[in-house]
A and B are shown apart, each in its own frame.
Chain A
Amino acid sequence: MSDVRFGMAIDTRTCVGCAACVIGCKTENATAPEFSRDWIYTLLEGEYPDVRMTIRSERCNHCEDAPCVTVCPTGSSHYGPGGTVQVNPDKCSGCKACITACPYDARHIDPRSGAADKCTFCMHRLESGITTTSCQEICPTQSIYFGDLNDPDSKISRALATREAYVLKPDAGTSPKHFYLK
């Protein structure tokens, strides 16, 4: 996976905020009770009848310049295959520096292991040859695009090339690889 650069994009026009991705992730990754690696963010603006709604499925942004990796004192948080950001729980001391360093608050401590936890882009699936993430697989409106940003013909690259997209908190200087299609 050396030349691969994994990224994700959410189609905010078709996402209805059903939270199937949240349940899909929980089922696939067996995250700790009452903790989740992805979530639905809903913003309602305006006064009736002039209202508009933005819905986003959010998770770790797998930043190119990830502050969590920068501050980690043990090397537990690291850049994994395909430019993803991964945690090695065996090296984690639970110091929580990565949690305070993340501008997206995308991390938490898994109380069962005491280690930092977050979205892995379903690396265990990718490494076993499955090309989708669980949130993408379960999405009933197919609003989650996932694939290789370095491949110009991948579905996500095509979407980002032909549609307007944004990332969260671009001024934080983290260069996220998680996009939102307008």
Chain B
Amino acid sequence: MNEITSTRHNHLIDPTMHVWGWEIPLYLFLGGVVAGVMILTGIRFLRGQGREPSPALALMPWVAPIAISVGMFFLWLDLEHPFNAWRFYLTFKLTSPMSWGAWILLGVYPASILLAWVGTPERHKARIGRWVARIALLRRIEGWAKNNTVFLARLNIVMGAALGIYTGVLLGTMAARPLWNSALLGPLFLVSGLSTGAAFMLLFGLSDDERRSLSRADMGLIAIELGLLGLWMMGLATGGSAAQGALAVILGGPYTAAFWTLVVALGLLAPLAGEWLEYKHGALPGRGTAVLVLLGGFALRWILVFAGQATGWVTEIAMR
């Protein structure tokens, strides 16, 4: 019999760590969607030259600055000392993924807003367009952006990839939380972000061709995501005792049911099957599968953030 007693009972630390609440998974989810939208709209700009996008797709890049602002608001809500948030921007810490993230977020804005502005049809620009035309500096920036759409599209792809990867690396570099401590979390969150980004775009009134190509891409993305999830679990299963103990929280432990039903079954396998059936029978991809993908992407981050905090290095018994 082993009986452990500790006098420590610090709030949110003991008995199980829970310092990161609902704000963090919500931010990570929105960050993933934004990463996906930036990359997919960037690719659309590069490959769709000469083809007229549907009105909804033309305005899609605006999702990035809007959704990332909402996400950053939740991130800010999570800070215990929110009025020190500006401290992020007085320094750059090479070893801190969160510091990288703070600066990446700052780069997302100009890249996405310029691409969105260039792609917005003139009839929608209305009053803001007249403002831009009146202010010399904005006119010059607009002129530069119009002449550099290829660069801007590439920049969106790079910034989107950086955003998507960093959200995973943020968790993956924490050796103290073995469930997170995998380099695969970077690519996993990037691919999941691309998939949820595509699903988010499918909620809007895109053209039939656009719907079909996004849905086809999403099938591949889900397949890759399933593979990455499998590799991530394989890494933990064959790792040391801390990694094995961490994996146990989703293989029999308290997060097992939530992970396998919400993330794997409803969030990945069900929409993959749905998209495949739509594709096979020539049906137009619907919004039902897209909603499932979005819920699955959110559940993945929700469960990982909470379950990861519950894992730690196996408390060593007496060392002798």
Contact = CB atoms under 8 A, between A and B. Distances in A.
Nearest to B176: A103
Interface string A9-24: 0000000000100100
| A interface residue count range (under 10 / 10 to 19 / 20 to 34 / 35 or more) | 35 or more
B102 A73 contact: yes
A43 B317 contact: yes
A140 B17 CA distance: 32
Contact of B84 (A47, A67, A91): A91
Interface in A120-154: none
Nearest to A19: B7
Interface string A74-108: 11100000000000001111111101111101011
Contacts, number: 162
Contacts of B6: 39-42
Nearest to B97: A71
Nearest to A54: B318
Contacts of B13: 99, 105, 107-108
A99 B98 CA distance: 13
A30 interface: no
B82 A43 contact: no
Contacts of B79: 93-95, 114
A105 B14 contact: yes
A19 B173 CA distance: 35
Contact of B175 (A105, A166, A173): A173
A94 B8 CA distance: 21
Contacts of A41: 4-6, 8
Given A42-B5, A91-B87, A93-B85, A169 B313 contact: yes
B316 A168 contact: yes
Interface stretch (B88-96, B120-128, B205-213, B251-259): B88-96
Given A93-B81, A105-B14, A71 B7 contact: no
B78 interface: yes
B11 A45 contact: no
B278 to A, nearest CB: 41
A145 B5 CA distance: 23
B215 interface: no
A93 B176 contact: no
B80 A43 contact: no
15 contacts: A34-B9, A35-B11, A58-B8, A73-B101, A74-B90, A90-B84, A94-B82, A95-B79, A96-B20, A99-B19, A101-B174, A105-B14, A105-B312, A108-B12, A166-B319
Interface of A: 19, 22, 34-36, 39-47, 52, 54, 58, 67, 70-76, 90-97, 99-103, 105, 107-109, 111, 113-115, 166, 168-169, 171-173, 180, 182
Kindly list the 9 A-B residue pairs having the minimum CB-CB distance in the complex, ordered from nearest.
A94-B80, A39-B8, A114-B81, A94-B81, A54-B318, A73-B99, A73-B98, A114-B80, A103-B176
